[in-house]
Amino acid sequence: MDDWLAEIRRAVEARDQRLTPQRQVVLQVLAAGGDHHLSAEEIHEQARIRQPDIGLATVYRTLELFEDLGVVSRLEVGGETRFELNRERDLHYHHHLICLNCGRIQEFREDLLDEVERRVEGETGFTIIDHNLRFFGYCRHCRGRKKS
Amino acid sequence: MDDWLAEIRRAVEARDQRLTPQRQVVLQVLAAGGDHHLSAEEIHEQARIRQPDIGLATVYRTLELFEDLGVVSRLEVGGETRFELNRERDLHYHHHLICLNCGRIQEFREDLLDEVERRVEGETGFTIIDHNLRFFGYCRHCRGRKKS
DNA sequence: ATGCCTGCAAACATTTTGCATAGCG
DNA sequence: CGCTATGCAAAATGTTTGCAGGCAT
């Protein structure tokens, strides 16, 4: 099961860097967060439960490292950045649904975008590396009531 | 031709607000920007050419108003927010291609997303109001050379 | 010892807010 | 007048950086 952690450790050490306790804690927090997309501040808060004097800057630096490694990806929403663990290989094909009322973010897996991507490349001459699709609306719970 | 401006004036006045000189200048700047997506700072800079003592806060407040009215939309990219005028009615169906090298943003019109949207609504119970699709890659000019 | 890592605080960039004043209707 | 709008400066956010010390090889 910690094949997972071991793999990340290998990737980190391949860059002559270390999977320190702080970095592991950040991973644990992200993993425990499930499908939640946490802000740096929230990750920091959670991390402090296990590692009381971890600094916010360390969290940011850690997230940056993990993003470089492809372990984590960032999602900019409403002026702040939220982070998620990339659990599968097919991270390319998952999109976000953002509730305009409660702010909750859920995910959706989908593979219909390849076609669109190819059309865009053909028509514009742009070489596409990645995409990012977000839907805004109201989740099941917030349906009907716009304020809450 | 200024059917356009008149329409916005009507929308503003319908809220018991006014289309002041400052607000008009912001509109002019956005209109002159063509397909460019300007940051608040850039809009402020341009606006000052015509209206030297317009304040940055006014620009922000104006952009907020116009966003409420659906006249302007915002695009968050790389930690900063960029603004664009919604020229057509079908603003729903235009997406952005962001060059990872030079940062230039171009647009692409597309209507293939309705299908995806309906599938998402069916499978998740989410009510979708809007979406936002961005492609990241290299534009024609930056192809090949990743640094420049 | 020589690296990478860390916490802290300061620096930064962007956006928002408070307030006194100005200006339209 | 009453109410919206403005400029300015201060405050609030969110993120990055510099640095002195710490820790693991």
pLDDT at A46: 96
Does residue A6 or residue A22 have the better pLDDT?
A: A22
Kindly indicate the confidence band of residue A129, based on its pLDDT and cuts at 50, 70 and 90: confident
Q: How far is the CA of B62 from the C1' of C13 (A)?
A: 20
The DSSP code sequence of chain B is -THHHHHHHHHHHTTT----HHHHHHHHHHHHTTT--EEHHHHHHHHHHHSTT--HHHHHHHHHHHHHHTSEEEEEETTEEEEEE--SS-GGGEEEEEETTT--EEEEE--THHHHHHHHHHHH--EEEEEEEEEEEE-GGGSS-S--
CATH for B92-137 is 3.30.1490.190
pLDDT at B88: 66
- Which residues of B fall within a CB distance of 8 Å from A139? 125-126
Average pLDDT over residues B91-104: 80
pLDDT at B86 over 50: yes
- Domain boundaries defined on chain B: 2-85, 92-137
Contact of B132 with A134, CB cutoff 8 Å: yes
Instruction: Find the closest chain B residue to A118 by CA distance.
Output: B135
Of A116, A119, A131, the CB nearest to B134: A131
Q: Which two tokens stand for residue A92?
A: 């390319």
B16 nearest nt, CA–C1': D4
Mean pLDDT computed over every residue of chain B: 87
Alpha helix segments (H runs only) across chain A: 3-13, 21-32, 40-50, 56-69, 113-124
Alpha-carbon span B81 to B38, nearest angstrom: 8
pLDDT at A1 over 70: no
Q: At A70, is the secondary structure helix, strand, or coil?
A: coil
- Which residues of B fall within a CB distance of 8 Å from A134? 131-133
A137 membership: H or E segment, kind and range? strand A127-138
pLDDT at B83 over 50: yes
CATH for A2-85 is 1.10.10.10
pTM (2 d.p.): 0.79
Bases along strand D below 7 A from a protein CB: 3-10, 13-18
Contact A131 B132 (CB under 8 A): no
Average pLDDT over residues B142-146: 66
How many CA atoms within 13 Å lie on the side-chain side of B45? 6
- Weakest-pLDDT range from A13-27, B16-30, B91-105, B126-140: B91-105
Kindly indicate the confidence band of residue A88, based on its pLDDT and cuts at 50, 70 and 90: low
**Nearest C-alpha neighbor of A93 from the set A130, A146, A39:** A130
Nearest protein residue to nucleotide C8 (CA to C1' distance) is: A55
Of A108, A133, A138, the CB nearest to B127: A138
B82 nearest nt, CA–C1': C14
How many CA atoms within 13 Å lie on the side-chain side of B124? 27
Kindly indicate the confidence band of residue A148, based on its pLDDT and cuts at 50, 70 and 90: very low
pLDDT at B102: 82
pLDDT at B141: 86
